[in-house]
């Protein structure tokens, strides 16, 4: 067995990767006292503290990293995403507020607007001279953005922004309740009596601290967490904005009301516009990952010092020496590493694609972003909950950090895309990607298409299965820690599940109603999305180890990757058994292997979480003092 001793710094170097310098810079800044947690602040004081922190960030050159260099930006999209993610180590209200201001609001101006918007706004947004909102979600429509009901009617050279009824009120809008002055409002564009679908408009909402005429603003009030962000509701009573308020990169309205767009299909234009906004989703995933690291760093340190129950005739046992405790923490650490590398790969891909990516690659990236976001944020919710329980009563006290981590990250599973909806998107992307053209990604649109055209293509990709079958009769010891086996098992599972979904949809659609067909297969559809992401995540982990120059770090990470792969197989072993990919004996051997890996990695638990390099101010908790 190789020597697994390694310094935390070596792991940090692997984790920090391509934007390591920037990560060091953010860590150094948020280590300042100013960026402290808001423990025991009331809502108003918390909001004020977050705004001050935001102003401190605005004095660096990072807020503009993602924008066009022509307007003071850095032209470094990957760096921009990285700088948001890093805020996930600290108060998540700051991460969200920064994300709203520079990611969603500024990002929409950059990516949906044109020169006139960039010229007028980007520098002011970057420098925080103009605070803004991203007003997409409505009371009645969150996931189904295509059916938003706010209207923007072209009338005498202007747009009239209107909230027709209660269900069209903009809901949960960050920066709306207190600080925002301008909002990017998503509304149905109507010109010449014709509805052209959802477009984005710049609408002033607050002037000199008071709601602009025709705009009604209310506060969403107390939330489970993230109370440093001033979420509010916005409604518009026939608010007139100039024609230039339309963010017109993908569509425009001429002075005479004529509508034009370089993208002919309404559907395709809509998804192209939405597609540019995946940066927010990626930032949420990255921040969720960093919050998870912080929770694990707390729980492992506590688990290493806390003792309970005496050995017969011996010392009091350290919590982390119990198998049950190792079982809670170590697979979660392994998955956190795995998801980190998948996230890093995603950021790198987005960065490298540039501003005019080929459509197929853009779609693939969107799907990957949706999937990684869903899996990472669910992992955050589960892991932070587990970390709280692993710290017992101490974990319940606010001073010990876990309550805020739990409360703040909770909404990540349903905002920037509800995870269930996102996994469906992933699955549909996979089904449609067999077809060489842009397809309708709406919820039910692909069903018939899939049913008619895809099945054979999907079910014939059986190369992975051959490897799995070849290794089926090998000795357990030769297989359980064999990376090829892990990879092929994940790949084969994905192909099989996807083929099964396609078959089910085809069978169900024959003579049936498309909603019923889709709905009866929904659990399989979600599963297809999940196992696809699992495969990408494992491959990203393997690639990261291959890049790792430090042999000791690589050796340790190989074991962590084993644990990630085997814990995943263990959790899903019912499927592998049902589908003849594991025998009963090997399935039990997988469970034993996870136990052995937990024991083997237990002495390295601390260095693994130290490698996360959580700034020490965010680990300042009394439960770690004694």
Q: Which CB atom, from 141 or from 268, has the smaller least distance to a second copy? A: 141
Residue that the structure tokens 């237990």 belong to:
602
Listed in sequence order, the residues at least 6 apart from 80 whose beta carbon sits closer than 8 Å to its beta carbon are 62, 65, 66, 74, 102, 103, 279
Residues 76/214, Cβ–Cβ less than 8 Å: no
Least CB distance to a second copy at residue 36 (A): 15
Q: Which tokens in the block code for residue 592?
A: 């034993």
What is the nearest approach in angstroms of a second copy to the Cβ of residue 383?
Answer: 13
Paired strand residues for 241: 159
Q: Distance between alpha carbon 306 and the CA centroid of its chain, in Å? A: 33
Catalytic residue among 138, 181, 366, 416: 416
> Two tokens at 155?
């009338």
Cβ at position 462, least distance to a second copy in Å: 19
Closest distance of CB 152 from a second copy, Å: 21
Taking alpha carbons only, the member of 86, 88, 83, 94 closest to residue 51 is 94
Tokens of 147: 């059916």
CB 175 within 8 A of CB 228: no
CB of 281 to a second copy, least distance (A): 15
Residues 6+ apart with CB under 8 A from 234: 133, 135, 169, 170, 173, 176, 183, 185, 205, 215, 216, 217
Burial class for 46, CB neighbours closer than 10 Å (0-12, 13-18, 19+): buried
Q: How far is the CB of 191 from a second copy (least distance, A)?
A: 24
Q: Which is nearer to a second copy, 139 or 606 (CB)?
A: 139
Kindly give, in sequence order, each residue whose CB lies less than 8 Å from that of residue 174, ignoring residues fewer than 6 positions away: 96, 97, 99, 100, 104, 133, 134, 229, 230, 231
Distance CA 365, CA 88 (A): 22
Distances (CA, A) of 329 to 167, 334, 554: 43, 9, 21
Residue 523 burial (CB < 10 Å; 0-12/13-18/19+)?
exposed
3 state DSSP class of 187:
strand
Q: What gap in Å lies between CA 446 and CA 452, rounded to an integer?
A: 10
CA distance 591 to 601: 16
Query: Based on CB atoms, which residue is closest to a second copy, 460 or 523?
Result: 523
Catalytic (active site) residue 416: yes
Distance CA 214, CA 205 (A): 9
Written as one string, the DSSP assignment of 476-513 is HHHHTT-HHHHHHHHHHHHHHHHHHHHHHHHHHHTTS-
Active-site residues, by number, are 416
């Amino acid at each position: 067995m190789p020597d697994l001793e390694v310094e935390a710094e070596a792991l940090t170097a692997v984790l920090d990767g391509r934007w390591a310098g920037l990560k060091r810079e953010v860590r150094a800044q948020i280590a300042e006292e100013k960026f402290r947690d808001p423990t025991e602040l009331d809502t108003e004081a918390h909001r004020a503290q977050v705004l001050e922190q935001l102003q401190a960030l605005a004095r660096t050159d990072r807020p503009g990293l993602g924008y066009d260099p022509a307007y003071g930006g850095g032209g470094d999209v990957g760096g921009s995403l990285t700088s948001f993610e890093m805020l996930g180590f600290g108060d998540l209200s700051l991460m969200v507020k920064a994300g709203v201001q520079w990611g969603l609001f500024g990002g929409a101006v950059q990516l949906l607007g044109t020169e006139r918007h960039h010229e007028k706004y980007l520098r002011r947004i970057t420098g925080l001279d103009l605070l803004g909102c991203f007003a997409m979600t409505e009371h009645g429509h969150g996931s189904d953005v295509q059916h938003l009901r706010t209207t923007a009617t072209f009338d005498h050279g202007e747009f009239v922004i209107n909230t027709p009824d209660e269900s069209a009120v903009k809901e949960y809008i960050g920066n709306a309740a207190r600080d925002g002055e301008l909002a990017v409002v998503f509304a149905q564009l109507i010109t010449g009596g014709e509805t052209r679908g959802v477009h984005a408009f710049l609408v002033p909402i607050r002037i000199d601290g008071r709601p602009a005429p025709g705009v009604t603003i209310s506060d969403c009030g107390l939330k489970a967490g993230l109370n440093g962000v001033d979420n509010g509701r916005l409604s518009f009573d026939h608010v007139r904005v100039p024609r230039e308020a339309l963010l017109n990169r993908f569509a425009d309205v001429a002075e005479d009301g004529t509508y034009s767009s370089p993208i002919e299909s309404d559907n395709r234009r809509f998804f192209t516009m939405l597609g540019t906004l995946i940066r927010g989703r990626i930032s949420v995933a990255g921040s969720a990952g960093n919050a998870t690291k912080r929770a694990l760093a707390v729980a492992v340190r506590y688990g290493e010092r806390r003792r309970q129950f005496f050995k017969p005739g011996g010392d009091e046992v350290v919590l982390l020496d119990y198998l049950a405790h190792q079982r809670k923490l170590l697979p979660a650490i392994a998955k956190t590493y795995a998801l980190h590398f998948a996230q890093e790969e995603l950021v790198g891909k987005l960065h490298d694609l540039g501003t005019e990516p080929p459509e197929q690659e853009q779609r693939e990236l969107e799907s990957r972003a949706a999937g990684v976001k869903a899996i990472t944020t669910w992992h955050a919710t589960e892991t932070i909950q587990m970390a709280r329980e692993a710290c017992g009563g101490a974990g319940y006290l606010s001073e010990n950090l876990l309550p805020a981590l739990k409360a703040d990250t909770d909404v990540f599973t349903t905002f920037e895309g509800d995870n269930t909806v996102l996994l469906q998107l992933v699955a549909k992307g996979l089904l449609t990607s067999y077809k060489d053209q842009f397809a309708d990604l709406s919820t039910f649109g692909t069903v018939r298409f899939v049913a008619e055209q895809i099945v054979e293509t999907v079910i014939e990709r059986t190369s992975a299965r051959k490897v799995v079958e070849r290794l089926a009769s090998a000795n357990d010891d030769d297989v359980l820690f064999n990376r090829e086996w892990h990879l092929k098992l994940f790949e084969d599972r994905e192909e099989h599940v996807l083929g099964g979904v396609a078959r089910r949809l085809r069978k169900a659609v024959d003579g049936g109603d498309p909603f019923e067909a889709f709905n009866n297969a929904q659990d399989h559809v979600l599963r297809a999305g999940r196992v696809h992401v699992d495969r990408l995540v494992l491959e990203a982990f393997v690639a990261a180890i291959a890049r790792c120059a430090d042999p000791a770090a690589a050796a340790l990470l190989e074991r962590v990757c084993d644990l990630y792969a085997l814990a995943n197989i263990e959790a899903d072993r019912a499927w592998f058994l049902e589908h003849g990919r594991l025998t009963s004996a090997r399935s039990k051997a997988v469970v034993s292997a996870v136990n052995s890996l937990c024991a083997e990695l237990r002495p390295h638990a601390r260095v693994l979480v130290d490698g996360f390099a959580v700034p020490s101010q965010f680990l300042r908790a009394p439960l770690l003092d004694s």
